[in-house]
């Protein structure tokens, strides 16, 4: 029941995000074209591509909720970090394109922007982006969803973009009021270039985290240290001759493989082996949550 509620909340959050991206994409592209603002166009393009990524995340959330089948016998949890990596790469590509566009426009002496509509759009988009960001951040913490967390980071990026655009256009209004309207043509390309650099910081952190999971790199964190210390205590208490363990995280699931070396197989019947599995399940797996556990026993060290 708790898992079903979690999945439902996750899907609701992503549907809210998808609706928001549709509004942002259409309004950004239309208003950006009307007021001749590359910064607003960037905001619209970012939202348009985010719309596709949010739809993909929503489909992934549906797949993850499904049980394993003949084709995906380990389930679908590995798709979660993969989608997050694709998401991060898309954002970086957008930021690179935006930076190039802004610099090119700057060296071509910039361009004027229709200020009134631009200010209205910037205020509206800033409020919308941060509202959805805070809503998704709350839900991602409540249901422990990496998909929603990464999606919320996109809204944070978009909120920073929109907020900076708002400040930039307020600066344009101030310059005009002070009689320096000739400088207004440079504000929009400067905004685009600056926003692209700032926005690139968040997807880099997302890529760093999720690439480790895609590449099945063992995490070096308190969860891994906790597993190691607990397993060491179990090995000492039950007098394993030796053991090895392999531990990775893939999306919302952990994979834990433990190989135990025994000297005298006669002293380790199936009942005792299953008892060890129960101990590991009670002390490690239940604390981790969703975990694929494999425990094997061997009398030869070559199989560790």
Domain map (residue ranges) of the chain:
2-214, 222-303
Confidence of residue 259 (pLDDT cuts 50, 70, 90): very high
Prediction pTM value: 0.66
Query: In angstroms, what is the C-alpha Rg of the chain?
Result: 26
Q: What's the full length of the chain, in residues? A: 304
Confidence of residue 42 (pLDDT cuts 50, 70, 90): confident
Q: Tell me what pLDDT residue 5 has.
A: 63
List all residues 6 or more positions away from 203 whose beta carbon is below 8 Å from its beta carbon.
87, 88, 89, 91, 92, 95, 153, 157
Cα separation, 202 vs 280, in Å, equals: 37
Mean pLDDT on 278-282 = 91
Domains 2-214 and 222-303 belong to one CATH topology: no
Q: What class does CATH assign to 2-214? A: mainly alpha
Mean pLDDT in the chain? 81
Cα separation, 138 vs 128, in Å, equals: 16
Give the ranges where the chain is alpha helix by DSSP (H). 2-35, 38-64, 79-107, 115-143, 146-178, 184-199, 201-214, 222-237, 270-280, 286-288
Residue 151 pLDDT exceeds 60: yes
Q: Which fold has domain 222-303?
A: Alpha-Beta Plaits (3.30.70)
């Amino acid at each position: 029941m708790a898992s079903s509620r979690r999945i439902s909340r996750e899907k609701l959050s992503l549907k809210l995000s998808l609706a928001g991206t549709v509004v942002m994409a259409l309004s950004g592209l239309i208003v950006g074209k009307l007021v001749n603002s590359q910064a607003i166009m960037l905001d619209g393009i970012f939202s348009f591509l985010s719309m596709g990524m949010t739809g993909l995340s929503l489909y992934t959330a549906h797949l993850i909720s499904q049980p394993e089948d003949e084709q995906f016998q380990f389930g679908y949890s590995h798709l979660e970090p993969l989608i997050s990596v694709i998401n991060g790469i898309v954002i970086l590509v957008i930021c690179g394109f935006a930076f190039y566009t802004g610099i090119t426009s700057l060296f071509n002496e910039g361009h004027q922007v229709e200020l009134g509509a631009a200010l209205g759009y910037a205020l509206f988009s800033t409020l919308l982006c941060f509202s959805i960001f805070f809503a998704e951040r709350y839900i991602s913490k409540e249901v422990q969803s990496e998909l929603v967390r990464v999606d919320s980071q996109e809204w944070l990026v978009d909120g920073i973009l929109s907020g900076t655009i708002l400040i930039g256009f307020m600066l344009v209004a101030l310059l005009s009021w002070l009689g320096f309207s000739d400088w207004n043509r440079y504000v929009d390309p400067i905004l685009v270039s600056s926003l692209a650099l700032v926005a690139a910081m968040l997807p880099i952190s997302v890529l760093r985290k999720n690439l480790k999971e895609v590449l099945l790199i063992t995490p070096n964190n308190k969860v891994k240290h906790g597993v190691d210390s607990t397993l060491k205590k179990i090995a000492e208490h039950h007098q394993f001759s030796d053991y090895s363990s392999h531990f990775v995280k893939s999306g919302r699931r952990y994979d834990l493989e433990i190989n135990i070396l025994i000297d005298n197989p006669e002293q380790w019947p199936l009942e005792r082996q299953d008892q060890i599995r129960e101990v590991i399940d009670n002390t490690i797996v239940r604390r981790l949550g969703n975990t694929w556990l494999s425990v094997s026993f061997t009398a030869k060290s070559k199989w560790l």
